[in-house]
Amino acid sequence: MKGFSPIGCVLLLLTSVAMADQPAPPPDAPTSQPAVTDEQRAFVARTLRQLDPANMNADAAAADLVAGGKVMLPAMREAADQPDKLVGDDELKSDTYRSRTGGMVQIAGDRSIRVQMITRVRIAALNKAIVRLDWGFEPAEVIEKWAADQKDNAGRPCKVIGRTWRVEEPALEALFPDRLFCANLVPMYPVARMVPPGPLKDHNIFILDRKGQVRHETDVEGLKAFFRENLPAIRQPGKDDANAKAAVRAWLALGEVLVSDGMFQFSLDETSLQVQTDRPGEEAARITAADGRAQAEGGGNQGFVSVELKFDAAGRLADAVQQARLRAGIRPICQATKLLDPDPIVRKMAEQDLLLMGSAARDYIFEQRTKATPELQAAIDAVWGRILQREAEWGR
């Protein structure tokens, strides 16, 4: 599980860990998948081909997919369900790609690395487009409109600062199929932005229903209240253990947002998922608690965020205790602006820092790119390509 990776799994109404009292799908939900035509497949493939290691703007590609309309949804879902077919052999004949700024990005090494890079960004574009068409709205736009209707302590309309993204975690989608979860962290690097006192904070979680209604949480107590009100009871014959662990996964995916400065990336420690019962060792024992931990990784980051969920006799959430012990690693200062510095040592240090920070520095890198000269943009594109290559090699 990656808390801040912009790339994730396609939104599905999963049922593998669904609870007995889980809400039914909306009445207008399609009962069968319409046939996909060759023309629709060609449209999706043609749109996705604009994404390659030198051109990784999934948002732009998603917008082009959305422009095709709902009629393209079956083809998009089909493509997302077959990730091994998203990259053609003809796209891999060369290991060098030209960005739209004219810079050249070379992806050395095994071709499988390029396949992973391209597949991941194309899946991200499909994800975004499917959500927009399936739910009937763009989550970020709904959140911005909601914020504008709120007032800060000075009576002014609120404004969302920084990037808002969807938290993608299969357990969230399974447990809360009628909700979308989005996160927003106010940028802290290279210069911290100040949020006017009011409802919006440095760490924001937005929970949207299918009508576009927004619920806003900014701390553990608020998250706890949402889970108490909406988490299905874990008690289900033969599935109590899996359901309790799914609840921990779902919590951590959101809990990470509340403790991050935007530069932490987390990975669930699978061995940490544990359940406690009222009669240890007995088959009919009732689960009373479940806990798990997500480890900070990359960029010199250290530490973890953990949670213990406690359940009542009916299997409902009674309490949640979250802890975080984190030590920050390298953070953005001015590295992206030093990639063309006259001093080769400065250039090398800037590049090394960016590579170590990896995709966690995405927002900082992209922000600096918008201010850069064409020459510096090309240098930034080259480093970004290397970041994605390294993370593909490491399986992030």
Three-class SS string for 34-92? CCCCHHHHHHHHHHHCCCECCECCHHHHHHHHHHCCHHHHHHHHHHHCCHHHCCCHHHH
**φ and ψ of 46, to 5 deg:** -65, -40
**pLDDT (0 to 100) of residue 33:** 61
The DSSP code sequence of 283-311 is TTPPEEEEEEEEEEESTT-EEEEEEEEEE
**pLDDT (0 to 100) of residue 108:** 63
**φ and ψ of 325, to 5 deg:** -130, 105
Tell me which amino acid residue 240 is: D
Q: In this structure, what token pair is assigned to residue 261? A: 């400065």
**pLDDT (0 to 100) of residue 110:** 67
Tell me which amino acid residue 61 is: A
**pLDDT (0 to 100) of residue 174:** 96
259 within 8 A of 326, measured Cβ to Cβ: yes
End-to-end CA distance of the chain: 10
Q: Report the number of secondary-structure helices (H) and strands (E) in the chain.
A: 11, 10
**Which helix (H) or strand (E) covers residue 209, if one does?**
strand 203-209
**pLDDT (0 to 100) of residue 28:** 42
**pLDDT (0 to 100) of residue 29:** 42
Tell me which amino acid residue 125 is: A
Short-list 182, 216, 188, CA closest to 202: 188
Neighbours of 352 (CB within 10 A): 12
d(CA 76, CA 367): 30
State pTM to two decimals: 0.79
**pLDDT (0 to 100) of residue 77:** 95
Quote the distance between the C-alpha of residue 248 and its chain's center.
17
Block mean pLDDT (10 aa), the chain, length 396: 39 33 41 80 96 87 95 96 93 83 71 83 94 93 96 95 92 96 93 89 97 97 98 90 97 97 94 92 84 94 97 96 96 95 96 93 89 91 84 70
